[in-house]
Structure 1
Amino acid sequence: MRLTAKSIAVAAALSVALPAGLPAWAQTAAPSSQVQAAAVADLIAGVDIPYETFTLDNGLRVIVHTDRSSPIVATSIWYNVGSKDEPAGRTGFAHLFEHLMFSGSENAPGSYISRLVGMGATDLNGTTWFDRTNYFQTVATPVLEQVLYLESDRMGHLLGALTQEQLDTQRGVVQNEKRQGDNQPYGLVQYARLEALFPEGHPYRHSTIGSMADLDAASMDDVRSWFIENYGPNNAVLVLAGDVDVATARELVERHFGSIPRGPANVPAQAAVPTLDAPVSRVMRDRVANVRIYRSWTGPGLTDADAVPLAVGAAVLGGLASSRLDNALVRGDQTAVSVSSSYQPFQRVGFFDVIVNVKPGEDPDAVAARVDEIMAQFLAEGPTADEVQRVATQQVAQRINGLESIGGFGGRATVLAEGALYADDPEFYKSQLRAYAEVTPDQVREVMNRWLSRPVFSLRVEPGEREAYVEAQAVPSGEQVAAAPADYTPTARPPLPGVGEIPDLDFPDVQRTTLSNGIPVIFSQAASTPTTRVAVEFDAGWAADPADRLGLQALMLEAMSENAGGLDAAELAEARERLGASISADASLDRTFVTLSALTPNLAPSLDLLAKVVREPDFIPSEVERLRAQQLSQIAAELSSPGGLGSRALWPALYGEGSAYGRPTSGLGETDHVQAVTLAEIQSFRDAWIRPDNAKIFVVSDRPLAEVTAALEAEFGDWRAPAAPRGQKAEASAAPAQPRIILIDRPQSPQSLILGGQVLGIDGDDDRLVLDAATEVLGTGFSSRINSDLRETRGWSYGARSSVNGLEGPMPYLINAPVQADRTGDSIASTIAVHQAFLGPQGVTPEELTRIIDAGSRRLAGQFATAQAVLGTLRSNDLYGRSDTYWEEAGARYRGLTAEALDAAARQAYDPSRFVWVVVGDAEVVRPQLEQLGLPVEVRSNR
């Protein structure tokens, strides 16, 4: 699978204005203060997604984008209906129906996700928002007809398959999805914001997830009416993108969709942009770590000419890393730990939001007044030309990077569908890019003043007890009653078409070289857009943190990213933004890495910035103190979230406090450790670990290795190791198994987060393809035993899963199950029972084996279809000691799997009697349930 064809002509011939000789991207960059980036107008000139379109007699619009670079096709079908179109008293129903559309159809009964997973689908999902409902997946070319059969069957042949049982189950799933979101810190803000900004009866006043009461009230009559009124072919756009031409597409679409009758004419709800009569101010309390300040306004919709200037203004104000609010509040006054500003347009309206997280100990009133002062000054002055240019470059870079993918949430199929649905123009993205390239500072200032001079909704969320939570009613499961009228007769169709032969994966060729100072370079020319991705990786990771200085490395990495090469934080951020480059420093448990995503025409100056971050960090004492305060605030935030609390308890319980793996996997560390870190310790840690004799460089680019190597050599070839010895990591040992339940009390939690697991007897260099396949049946896949039990059968969870967490050292098996609070004990008992049955008499079934073989062998092409995926595979292959052909050989290995092999692998690895469980929830509700399970229960307070 060689991703070298340029189906997207994205300015591949652009060059940066640098001296002649080597190609521009291979030359030594000019000093950052003199960087000359490619012009925005030049960058967008070649952005093009070629397509053809046709419309069936029943009104279905079809868009076809052909790209023969990989044997995969993305399908994306968008229905012009969302939560804004819901009738009064039925909020959340569009989203509920999205779930029901996955529950099976007349000629394809059972879970659609299970079927699609078995087809090898990747980028598989369905979503609902205010304006639309969409379903999408990417499959190998020979599977395309099966996918079209399924999509057409649920469009035209759904009613006869829907049952009351399905409605009740999916209602429970959606209500647990709502609990899961509401249970997060600040999780109730969205409801207060919508209710304040919109008057009663406005289509955008309610959230897409809806209210518990309205979800309770959804009936089978609602299901029937909603389907008939909204899901006709004349209310949909179907996009096929990838290895398909328009002639083939027309034949297949006509065959499977052509007989579906046209539905009622659908006109999406109209909605004016409301203006508040006067400013509205509200204070909420939540179990959060710091005060958060919001400023919100409504604005125009996606196709309005003011949408882009508002987005530019929002980015300058608080979206860029060098934004006005960042420079004033985070770096300047240091009264906030983070800020953001954004403009999010929908079909009819948009939302302009400013969010400021107040630094603990600061006066929220003073910070709020300062926010208003900065905004007033910005509205008076407007942005500079340089700020506007930086926003435009960032937006174009994001679009170009996104267009590498043909499907998923942001790929080419989505871009074409969104334009067709909202603007009646699949090429609407070009209009947006031109607007970014042409917008002026005066336009931004004028538009910002026009919309933000209106009354504002101000919200402050303070630490404290939450308001009472509105729970769902207990809905009894009904009998299996068909949703269709008594005289409804399902329409017979031909059976599901077969699948042709799918060739084995041809992974992009991997090449290797070495810089003059000995740094290995692992490379693949596998980008289908003019982009280059680089990862400079060090054998360190969070496991390298000293046991009494957990969080030291995270502080060091933040400092490296903020000040380097004599550039302060604002200057470094501005330089990245001018180039459309993204640079970040982070770590996993095993590796530390600094990554770059760059537009290849701007590669030389982008690599220069990367080298400054890696080689020339400026550990300025005042900046380190600022970043220390931010990290302490992040730790406090982690200790207020279910996931953060659970992870911090589970890993030390599994590995032991003294193990290199027995520490918070976020890397943020412990409060007292971070407070004690000295500047000398940061520098010493860097000398021990961030050095050329501990480094490897991974690259995926649209340019050949020789050119990329020349550019890397110019920036890293003369880097020499310090005199200090290289660091040595502590042993990543596992603690003796102590089966028990650790209950972390988090009052007022409508949902409990269940985590569990054990440390396995395998390391990173052990091949685990067979074990992973068995675990996919047990817990990793959507149709796994665990998820099917807790979500699809019982409706107690939005989603439950388990997996082997890949590490270089001893790997853990981890279970993750957010469940409704009143079913916490039952859920653990049921999950244990599922494991016992799977590891005992009820091993892998023939149907499960077929699904795993088909899924594993058919999805390979889609798994590695982007440069980012290729880069990740280069890095993981190196970490686990895999050959370059590991995934090319995987197809044959999947086809050779047997149920006996999967059962043996699982039974050898897993032992539920050794599991450690962590539950984050309301102890008053949960503890009595847990005490019935026969395991020791240790209760901890929420720190």
Structure 2
Amino acid sequence: MRQYFTFMLLALFLASVSSLDAQKKSYFSPDDIDVPYKKFVLNNGLTLIVHEDHKAPIAAVNVWYHVGSKNEKPGKSGFAHLFEHLMFNGSENYNDDYFQVIERIGGTDVNGTTNNDRTNYFQNVPVGALDQVLFLESDRMGHLLGAIDQEVLDEQRGVVQNEKRQGENQPYGKQWDLITKAMFPPGHPYSWTVIGEMDDLNAASLEDVQEWFKTYYGPANAVVVIAGDVDTEDIYKRVVKYFGDIPSGPALARPEVNIPVRTSDTRQSYQDRVPEARINIVWNVPQWGSKDLEMLNLATNVLSSGKNSRFYKRLVYDDQIASNANAFTWEKELASNFIIQANVKPGKTVEEVEAALLEELAKFLKEGPTEAELHRVKEQYFSGVIKGLERIGGFGGKSDLLAQFEVYGSSPEYSKEVLQWIADATPKEVQMAAQKWLGTGKHTLICTPFPEYSTVDSDVDRSKGLPQMEESASVKFPDLERATLKNGMEVILARRPGIPTMVMRMMFDAGYASDQFAKPGTASLAMNMMDEGTKSKTALEINEELQMLGASLSAGSDLDASSVTLNTLKPTLEPSLDLMADVILNPSFPAEDFDRLKNQTMVQIQREKSQPIAMALRVMPKFLYGDGHAYSQPMTGSGYEQTVQSMTREDMMKFHDTWIRPNNAKLMIVGDIEMSELLPMLEKRFSGWGKGKIPKKNIAEVKDSNKGKLYLMDRPESEQSVIIGGYLVDPYGKLDEIGRETAMNVLGGEFTSRINMNLREDKHWAYGASAFVMQGKGERPLLAYAPVQTDKTKESVQEIMKEFEMFVGDKPITEAEFEKTTGNAILQMPGQWETNNAVMGSLTNQIKYGLEDNYYQTYGNKIKNLKLNDVQTLSEKLVRPGDMAYFVVGDKEKILPGLKELGLEIIFVDADGNPIPQSKAKP
């Protein structure tokens, strides 16, 4: 439940097109986008929208209330968001945690969010659980107040305050508060942040809760969207049954559009613990759904989306004075903001970056976008929307978009008008909108390092509790087809008829672990360089062609593997595959791009060394694995400043020549294609690729030497302490992985897990806490993680210790916990493989770790066949509290006295894991 900015048209677009034919050809248009729906308005004013999508036996239930932080009163900021939290604590006829029951019935993507203008609650559930969800949603709409007392209010107030602390503890975390207060005058509905002020949160009372609920949470102020494997008329009857007896709520006065006029430019500077200076240049611009705002959205993408964009090409690629440069809109119902944001590259000045940004903007205002630029961003926008139609729920899914246009635009039909504006937009229209709004009145923020309603009779007997859950339809992971190319490369196909999206991933047995044979950080940097140019194409040309094809190509590494992934559509598969093959076979590692990315990696490392979580993840492997092990490098994969600084192009080419070989590769494909159609395409592009000799990585068993140690990294003035406890367990596949996952879910893997309920819900010391086992072909870390308020650091370590000890001591997994966790896993399966990318994620895991071909086909049966005794026995081997080493990042001056009371050996280390003698440690 976090503050959520809706950047409707902000996408990470790529570069423009050079071919005249490509400029003229449009692959996509508004006609390709259709989300059929039916809309009802109940007698009590509730709006219901139903969309049928029968590709998976799940349904998304999305409830939007037209109330956000703009409806708060001065002195009561943060209340809309606080109330959102209260909605998850139970209602009068189901007074229990909402997350727990949704987990129990197999729900996924369950959350609630608040922004300036609306509050929403959403979940995906098996269709058999619809009655239960409708009961729960209607009960908290119509029957909430009796379940909220002072204890519940105080509990959630503490959770929200920790959420605020966690957000402000991040680098640049204070910028949104400063921008908000600078752009909107006192008294304007947007002049305070969604998260609110601490004093206002402390002042919230039960009377405030009752007033807020009675005013804003009636059916006439709500929209319910249900999308999925449903029948429209049946859904209408069910919604009338559960919601029809709830009184409509009062008539509401809505704030009018109010775009503050700023007649002069202003500036503000502040310091934060950040690795780079950041520039934000902000204007007030029109509200959500206005044509001028859509033209400005197109302008942001021409300016900053992709390597051919004006800001990127000038500041990042050519002048190399910024590590990133972006433009985007922060869309809101009464007024929006146009924001230009850039991080200043170390060694460069704020003044030269700001001057370059304003110079490029001035050129844009004078000349407008070219036809080719505008065509490019339109194509990528429409292809992105089409790809998004795979998902029924979650952020940006079909139910979310239907609700958004109904609440803000009075009808989903309004989306068609917006899409047509985008399709018909001319360079002149975009230029005129930019000239109109991006003039005088900007604020520069510099951050430097330091009708008559009635009800119907209801036959719902709420005293009987939740309705019985209907049996869910079974779900099936695609069958795998295997083939081998003439050069020996394995091909694995998971065929999925339906929406014509295609995902291809070529995976190599390399990853960060291969840095054992090179300089730490090599695998990450080399894979990042793969699409920076080939022997026949520059990076800009590659991105140009991908943009026009509606495709995306990415390359990267994780601990054990490196991969190149292509996302495209069936009609553009062959030309997209040409680009993928060229990137894999013929990377040129251009010298200028290598220097640029190397410098960006240096900045990334500096950024990691300023972020509490990344600080711990960088140093942990060094102590868990020791010297000589393939996994002993920073867990982020970025390496060390000195190793990256010493890298050369030859290091990149050596990595490619060594590891990027067909006998070290597996090609996985998910999509609507036959193997007989696919193989000729692959042979044509990869048949001449030669094998190589692949080194063997050292992932041998490690002798533990960290028991009873606490590694402390000092971060002065840190608003929280980050605690990570860990030790090594068996490699992936050596344990019963489903039993392992079940045990860890109970201990720390779910919202309702023991550790999270302890530190978040009971103690209110953390916004969230967890425990999990990472993946790895060798021994892998079991970690407990908690970012906690500074004054509870010692106590939080003690609580983590206690939870681990009880788990294998006098409080093992109970029958109820076992049934809940395994039941959740089975019930969540219908939505687990909704998209091709989701299938690719599981397929990658299956192939990487050598799981049998029917692993996911029989996944549900494996869960059903688990026995509690087996999981308890496994837990005794898995959960070893005495082996735990702790890594703590926080303000040493404030937390060290308490940590000394734990009886652990405290070792002071810097952000690279180098020991610091206590006499030299920061005071």
TM range (shorter): over 0.9
The answer as to whether partners of 1:62 and 1:237 remain within 8 angstroms in 2 is yes
Counterpart position of 2:261: 275
Counterpart position of 1:706: 676
| 2:915 paired with 1:929 | no
Relative distance call for 1:556 and 1:34 in structure 2 (3 A) is farther
SS of corresponding position for 2:75: coil
The answer as to whether partners of 2:257 and 2:287 remain within 8 angstroms in 1 is no
Relative distance call for 1:713 and 1:344 in structure 2 (3 A) is farther
Counterpart position of 1:785: 754
Alpha-carbon distance between aligned partners in 2 of 1:657 and 1:589, rounded to the nearest angstrom = 16
Counterpart position of 1:646: 616
Give the gaps of 5 or more residues in structure 2: 1-16, 451-459, 913-923
Counterpart position of 1:28: none
Counterpart position of 1:424: 410
Counterpart position of 1:107: 93
Counterpart position of 1:590: 560
Relative distance call for 1:891 and 1:503 in structure 2 (3 A) is farther
Q: Residue 195 of structure 2: which of 209, 216, 237 is its match?
A: 209
SS of corresponding position for 2:516: coil
Q: Residue 772 of structure 2: which of 799, 803, 821 is its match?
A: 803
Q: CA deviation at 1:702?
A: 2.6
The answer as to whether partners of 2:70 and 2:189 remain within 8 angstroms in 1 is yes
Residue type of the alignment partner of 2:856: W
Residue type of the alignment partner of 2:784: I
| 2:109 paired with 1:85 | no
Alpha-carbon distance between aligned partners in 2 of 1:95 and 1:596, rounded to the nearest angstrom = 39
Alpha-carbon distance between aligned partners in 1 of 2:637 and 2:874, rounded to the nearest angstrom = 32
Counterpart position of 1:682: 652
Relative distance call for 1:425 and 1:733 in structure 2 (3 A) is same
Q: CA deviation at 1:740?
A: 1.3
Relative distance call for 1:454 and 1:491 in structure 2 (3 A) is farther
The answer as to whether partners of 2:720 and 2:789 remain within 8 angstroms in 1 is yes
Q: CA deviation at 1:683?
A: 0.9
| 2:354 paired with 1:337 | no
Q: Residue 186 of structure 2: which of 186, 200, 208 is its match?
A: 200
| 2:151 paired with 1:165 | yes
Residue type of the alignment partner of 1:727: P
The answer as to whether partners of 2:731 and 2:776 remain within 8 angstroms in 1 is no
The answer as to whether partners of 2:23 and 2:375 remain within 8 angstroms in 1 is no
Counterpart position of 2:8: none
Moved more, 932-941 or 725-734: 725-734
The answer as to whether partners of 1:527 and 1:866 remain within 8 angstroms in 2 is no
Q: Residue 94 of structure 1: which of 70, 73, 80 is its match?
A: 80
The answer as to whether partners of 2:37 and 2:50 remain within 8 angstroms in 1 is yes
SS of corresponding position for 2:743: helix
Residue type of the alignment partner of 2:795: D
Note the 1:429-444 alignment, pairs <5 A.
429-444=415-430
The answer as to whether partners of 1:40 and 1:396 remain within 8 angstroms in 2 is no
Residue type of the alignment partner of 1:71: P
Q: Deviations over 1:146-172 (max 9, x none)?
A: 111111111111110111111111111
Residue type of the alignment partner of 1:78: W
The answer as to whether partners of 1:290 and 1:463 remain within 8 angstroms in 2 is yes
Note the 1:791-830 alignment, pairs <5 A.
791-830=760-799
Q: CA deviation at 1:445?
A: 0.8
Counterpart position of 2:5: none
Counterpart position of 1:25: none
Q: Residue 487 of structure 2: which of 501, 517, 520 is its match?
A: 517
Alpha-carbon distance between aligned partners in 1 of 2:566 and 2:416, rounded to the nearest angstrom = 26
Q: Deviations over 1:107-160 (max 9, x none)?
A: 111110011011110111111111111111111111111111111111111110
Give the gaps of 5 or more residues in structure 1: 1-30, 465-489
The answer as to whether partners of 1:325 and 1:371 remain within 8 angstroms in 2 is yes
Q: Deviations over 1:754-798 (max 9, x none)?
A: 111110134345431011101111100100000000011111111
| 2:738 paired with 1:752 | no
Moved more, 512-521 or 380-389: 512-521
SS of corresponding position for 1:125: strand
Q: Deviations over 1:668-705 (max 9, x none)?
A: 11110011112222111110001222111111123333
Note the 1:374-389 alignment, pairs <5 A.
374-389=360-375
Note the 1:558-637 alignment, pairs <5 A.
558-637=528-607
Alpha-carbon distance between aligned partners in 1 of 2:251 and 2:852, rounded to the nearest angstrom = 56
Alpha-carbon distance between aligned partners in 1 of 2:447 and 2:83, rounded to the nearest angstrom = 33
SS of corresponding position for 1:63: strand
SS of corresponding position for 1:554: helix
Counterpart position of 1:887: 856
Alpha-carbon distance between aligned partners in 2 of 1:660 and 1:462, rounded to the nearest angstrom = 37
Counterpart position of 2:694: 726
Alpha-carbon distance between aligned partners in 2 of 1:849 and 1:765, rounded to the nearest angstrom = 22
Residue type of the alignment partner of 2:640: E
SS of corresponding position for 1:392: helix
The answer as to whether partners of 1:83 and 1:91 remain within 8 angstroms in 2 is yes
| 2:272 paired with 1:303 | no
Identity among equivalent pairs (%): 40
Q: Deviations over 1:652-677 (max 9, x none)?
A: 22222432112212211111001111
Relative distance call for 1:188 and 1:438 in structure 2 (3 A) is same
| 2:842 paired with 1:858 | no
SS of corresponding position for 2:783: strand
State the TM-score, normalized to the length of structure 2: 0.93
| 2:101 paired with 1:135 | no
Q: CA deviation at 1:885?
A: 2.4
Note the 1:661-700 alignment, pairs <5 A.
661-700=631-670
Counterpart position of 2:225: 239
The answer as to whether partners of 1:53 and 1:61 remain within 8 angstroms in 2 is yes
Alpha-carbon distance between aligned partners in 2 of 1:32 and 1:894, rounded to the nearest angstrom = 53
The answer as to whether partners of 2:403 and 2:412 remain within 8 angstroms in 1 is yes
SS of corresponding position for 1:108: coil
RMSD of Structure 2 on Structure 1 (CA): 1.9
Note the 1:99-498 alignment, pairs <5 A.
99-464=85-450, 492-498=462-468
Q: Deviations over 1:176-233 (max 9, x none)?
A: 1111111011111111111111111111121111111111111111111111111111
Q: Deviations over 1:707-735 (max 9, x none)?
A: 333333333233233xx522332335435
Q: Deviations over 1:367-417 (max 9, x none)?
A: 211221111111111111111111111111221121101111111111111
Alpha-carbon distance between aligned partners in 1 of 2:582 and 2:874, rounded to the nearest angstrom = 47
Alpha-carbon distance between aligned partners in 1 of 2:359 and 2:303, rounded to the nearest angstrom = 12
Q: CA deviation at 1:530?
A: 2.1
Alpha-carbon distance between aligned partners in 2 of 1:590 and 1:56, rounded to the nearest angstrom = 55
Q: CA deviation at 1:537?
A: 0.9
Q: Residue 939 of structure 1: which of 898, 901, 908 is its match?
A: 908
SS of corresponding position for 2:171: coil
Alpha-carbon distance between aligned partners in 1 of 2:429 and 2:329, rounded to the nearest angstrom = 16
| 2:503 paired with 1:533 | yes
Counterpart position of 1:487: none
Alpha-carbon distance between aligned partners in 2 of 1:542 and 1:864, rounded to the nearest angstrom = 28
Counterpart position of 2:705: 737
| 2:626 paired with 1:656 | yes
The answer as to whether partners of 2:227 and 2:399 remain within 8 angstroms in 1 is yes
Q: Deviations over 1:737-764 (max 9, x none)?
A: 3131111111111111111111013434
| 2:538 paired with 1:552 | no
The size of the alignment, in residue pairs, is 886
Counterpart position of 2:456: none
The answer as to whether partners of 1:121 and 1:139 remain within 8 angstroms in 2 is yes
Relative distance call for 1:354 and 1:657 in structure 2 (3 A) is farther
| 2:36 paired with 1:44 | no
Q: Deviations over 1:397-445 (max 9, x none)?
A: 2211211011111111111111111111123333333222211111111
Residue type of the alignment partner of 1:117: E
Q: CA deviation at 1:853?
A: 2.5
